[in-house]
Structure 1
């Protein structure tokens, strides 16, 4: 496939369109893997909280091996060299690495896993059809997750201020109704994009609206706005390319039933089952039965929160990596420790937002000092959609943090 073929959108050859998607997905994933390399290699600076207690993983310099295998597999599949086998190896390696550390389950790694499984397991036309449903579900659930009081009062307001302040506008001076309408425009836009992409007659309009959405996100999250990580910007650019590939040309599912197609359909049935489970489960995210990121609750304010506080009596005993992320002191003797800033500096990505994963990080900090550290953890449950109220649990000391971790359905204790 030539570069001219890659950028030509009039072709209805589903195999060629699938190859374009594979190339775009692979290139973006390679870039994000390289940018997030501290996430995959053990340098001893950041604790690991596996999905399964006791999950084995290589340590130290040996962790270069699975990461190198992952990069090689994704690179070969992107280049089209035995791409199905290479992508299958990449998916398997990535899945093992994620099981060994919940913080590796970033939204973009989840997307690579799901779309990669579709590309490997299904005929081109069906893989592209399911990929369309995947992107539509992502936009729909992302918008739905923001339709609540907490988004309007918190992150939505921050997004609005960041977006319009360079234009000389100040939302605080607007009427309350106008400011609320501007904040809700983003989640409603996302839901509108999802619906428009599903309906054939409005698909081009939906594609254009999606491109506008990601352009706005780049404006808000970029270096001239909230200055989020480069990985976030790369993912948004990659999404623009991928949806242009998937929703640009018209194609239809073939009804032919030759031996190769029947074999691919048979092999793809588990992938189809997994796909529909992944599309349905986000409905359970607000109930706490499914995690926020795989539930496409992206930049949502209602998700669980964890606050870690360290007592002033032991600040001087803290290692430099911990001391660097203590917030300014308040009126009492406790200072908040910024888990997200710690993760961004040590691993280049934000922390996994679930309470259990953050509880595991707090337990690891306490264990570093053999339980002698004066540490306090406050766990806030998901915010109510209409009132914004959250449940609150406070744990004081190492043993209390461990007991809190025992109450989660999935593992919340750090490795080792």
Structure 2
């Protein structure tokens, strides 16, 4: 009688089969999301690439192209071969290593979906399937928890949450005036509260099916609000919500039997490393709460409380800007001498991805804009502190554009200098 391999035994379980399909899904969505944000990975001539440390500023763009080509080949192999291939573990670890190298060469690539997939690649490559499934579930639960927590504050109710309410009201045909919105804006806290409810349902085995339904409803709602009918957000954000919709079903819609749990593989060094990585990913967001971490690694998704950097340019300097950059300067909304440069719009149109949130990367983008356009003497930079958790109050610091390099070095540990090799006009 022929013996069946352990992987094939695992594959008989509906939960395991769903998890094997989930691993292919991760590889597939990695390909899709890299494709819809391809300028972020291979064509950064229109938006600054800012490495983690300044020593990497001299790395030529050809290195990025090679890394992305390798990443695509690995992802295609993971989709085609599947998790039951003998090479699967090595492929997933290689996938994560290449992603990490891409992050080091440009902080902007540290999109939340890319971070999630880099972590999952390490989990898939190091842990046996059943352990990997449990660790992946814990990471997913932490995303829901910290994402909800990051929005339970007045700044979300006053800003993006209010935008959500206005968008929903316009979709259903009940338009809210500014006066009406002022009275109802606290309803915006219902969005993170519903996300927290989905987290609690998914956390408890008895209510997990309800959690799947709640999570799916939430992601469909986000797709509607952020999609073409609503705020017309980037394709990357919309597709990541499609991924989360499917993820909720494949990860939490199937239950592992007690018998299968009892026969879980013994703990190995590789599994301990995977567990340590999972623990670090789950605990890291606590640093952002005390002001030491960035919003996206802390799963601060659609959060409004984060610190910000704003760039303003004097009106007389706008007419001397390159045509490709002039459209990002708002000269119509006010008669002020200094007018805002929309760095977020620049990021979305040039790369297809949202700008990395927080003060540091926006300061780096402002620094690149000033250097590229030679407008240091005509620029003003305003850095706002994160909003309070209980009150929507911020502190602001303003300085001239010619001090931006000095202020960047004084304020931030990580690099804010762009890679000159990506700018053909400099």
User: 2:313 aligned with 1:310, yes or no?
Assistant: yes
Change in CA separation of 1:175 and 1:328 when aligned onto 2, cut-off 3 Å: closer
Change in CA separation of 1:350 and 1:373 when aligned onto 2, cut-off 3 Å: farther
Map of 1:334 onto structure 2? 338
Q: Is the partner of 2:312 in helix, strand or coil?
A: strand
TM-score relative to the length of structure 1 = 0.91
Cα RMSD of the aligned pairs, angstroms, is 2.3
* Per-residue deviation, 1:339: 0.4
1:301 & 1:187 partners in 2: Cα distance? 12
User: 2:387 aligned with 1:387, yes or no?
Assistant: no
Once the two structures are superposed, residues 277-300 of structure 1 have per-residue CA deviations (whole angstroms, 9 ceiling, x without a partner) of: 111121231322111011111111
User: 2:196 aligned with 1:195, yes or no?
Assistant: no
Do the aligned partners of 1:18 and 1:119 also contact (CA within 8 Å) in 2?
Answer: no
Q: Is the partner of 1:376 in helix, strand or coil?
A: strand
Map of 1:146 onto structure 2? 151
* Per-residue deviation, 1:177: 9.8
Do the aligned partners of 1:110 and 1:294 also contact (CA within 8 Å) in 2?
Answer: yes
1:359 & 1:36 partners in 2: Cα distance? 22
Once the two structures are superposed, residues 323-369 of structure 1 have per-residue CA deviations (whole angstroms, 9 ceiling, x without a partner) of: 12111242222111010111111111111012111111111222224
Map of 1:47 onto structure 2? 48
* Per-residue deviation, 1:53: 2.0
1:157 & 1:266 partners in 2: Cα distance? 48
* Per-residue deviation, 1:85: 1.8
Once the two structures are superposed, residues 25-70 of structure 1 have per-residue CA deviations (whole angstroms, 9 ceiling, x without a partner) of: 1111110101111001144222121112212674345532111111
Unaligned runs of 5+ in 2: 1-10, 421-426
1:98-109 map, 5 Å? 98-109=103-114
* Per-residue deviation, 1:311: 1.3
User: 2:323 aligned with 1:320, yes or no?
Assistant: yes
* Per-residue deviation, 1:374: 1.3
Do the aligned partners of 1:39 and 1:348 also contact (CA within 8 Å) in 2?
Answer: yes
Once the two structures are superposed, residues 201-234 of structure 1 have per-residue CA deviations (whole angstroms, 9 ceiling, x without a partner) of: 0000011000000011011001011111111111
Moved more, 148-157 or 166-175: 166-175
Map of 1:282 onto structure 2? 285
Map of 1:299 onto structure 2? 302
Q: Count residues with an aligned counterpart.
A: 403
* Per-residue deviation, 1:265: 2.9
Change in CA separation of 1:85 and 1:225 when aligned onto 2, cut-off 3 Å: same
1:290 & 1:145 partners in 2: Cα distance? 13
Do the aligned partners of 1:70 and 1:94 also contact (CA within 8 Å) in 2?
Answer: yes
Change in CA separation of 1:215 and 1:13 when aligned onto 2, cut-off 3 Å: closer
Q: Is the partner of 2:21 in helix, strand or coil?
A: helix
Change in CA separation of 1:177 and 1:38 when aligned onto 2, cut-off 3 Å: closer
Q: Is the partner of 2:239 in helix, strand or coil?
A: helix
1:177 & 1:372 partners in 2: Cα distance? 39
Q: Is the partner of 1:306 in helix, strand or coil?
A: strand
Map of 1:266 onto structure 2? 269
Map of 2:8 onto structure 1? none
Do the aligned partners of 2:146 and 2:285 also contact (CA within 8 Å) in 1?
Answer: yes
1:11 & 1:234 partners in 2: Cα distance? 30
Do the aligned partners of 2:15 and 2:254 also contact (CA within 8 Å) in 1?
Answer: no
1:337 & 1:401 partners in 2: Cα distance? 18
Map of 1:114 onto structure 2? 119
1:323 & 1:101 partners in 2: Cα distance? 24
Map of 1:24 onto structure 2? 25
Do the aligned partners of 2:39 and 2:352 also contact (CA within 8 Å) in 1?
Answer: yes
Q: Is the partner of 1:386 in helix, strand or coil?
A: coil
Q: Is the partner of 2:55 in helix, strand or coil?
A: coil
Moved more, 59-68 or 182-191: 59-68
* Per-residue deviation, 1:134: 1.2
Specify which of 185, 204, 210 is matched with residue 205 of structure 1.
Answer: 210
Change in CA separation of 1:38 and 1:120 when aligned onto 2, cut-off 3 Å: same
Do the aligned partners of 2:91 and 2:125 also contact (CA within 8 Å) in 1?
Answer: no
2:399 & 2:179 partners in 1: Cα distance? 41
Unaligned runs of 5+ in 1: 1-9
Map of 1:3 onto structure 2? none
Change in CA separation of 1:237 and 1:176 when aligned onto 2, cut-off 3 Å: closer
